[in-house]
Structure 1
Amino acid sequence: MKNCINCNHPIEETSHFCPNCGANQGVKVVYVQNNNTNNNNKPVYLIVLCTLTICGSLFTIARALLYEFFAAITEDDGIATRGIIYIISSCGTIIGAVLMLARKLLGLYIYSVFQVIYIVTLGAAIYFYNNRFSLKPTNGLEEFSGVIFFYFGLPAIVFLVLYWLKDARKHLK
């Protein structure tokens, strides 16, 4: 005779189930209650931001290489300088994002510096583009500056703000 693994009732040696409680005698099931319902250790918000930042920065590097190509063809130093600044700022934002994925607060500071450089360079490029081609409200091309800012500048500003929100910063040390 042996005892049930669940209720300790005496049962036959060959019994697979207890006649008293019905428990399977092959495996004892242990239920563990998980009291940790706090999901603050999972930085999903930060991971998504960093992943999007890396993708966007790689796109900006590709765009900057295109600027470099056109600068070589047109011999326009302004485009070349802007392309180099975009490449450097994008590399800096990638480094910052990778450090933030490692939960380093230093990554936020590095990201912020290079993102501000990118935003200022973009703003300067739009300003000089408008002055260079004398864009006036009557020629219809002034909307092009708004499109450039909407697609490139606005996301950069939004991401900069999102990184500085408490939801992202609370995961960084």
Structure 2
Amino acid sequence: MKKENYKMIRLSVLVLSLVVLTIVGTSFAYFTAIINGNEKANNVYVKSANLKATYSDGEEINTLNAVPGWSQDKTITITNTGDAPIIYSIKWTNVTNELTNMKYSLSSTSLGAQANVTEADAPKKDTNMVTNVTLGVGKEHTYKLTMLFKDTGLPQDDEQGKNFSAKLEASAVQAK
């Protein structure tokens, strides 16, 4: 009887050891990274997009109790601080727009910038303002954003106490 228990314990330990080795081996294989096609090179270099976004008066736009005719200018400067060309976008985020006559214009004198918007309706939800613009190394694009609560010349009492707020967000990827 003791011999059978001893055999059973040995067999259980052996099976448990095999299970542990299988799990460890599988986990190691899963987490091991392999770079193919670089057998002769000494180093692997990775480049990433580096973007600097500068907003006059910050990245947020807030109109609290604006009156018809109110306007505000904001300058947005996008600079490529990396070592490779980038493709960038600028988005409206966290948008709250309760006003029916809130407009915006976007212009730029920078070569290659994407801006030709005149008195468009301000967004009602998160959306793109500028998309997929290529910017070379060390270059910058400057935009002028003008927010305007348009005066229609008619009573706009229904707009009293309403607000517009949004945040501008720039992002970039490395150009191919």
| TM-score, length basis structure 2 | 0.25
Higher relative contact order (Cα pairs below 8 Å, separated by 6+ residues): 2
Instruction: Please state which structure has a larger fraction of its residues in strand.
Output: 2
Higher helix share: 1
Question: TM-score, length-normalised on structure 1?
Answer: 0.26
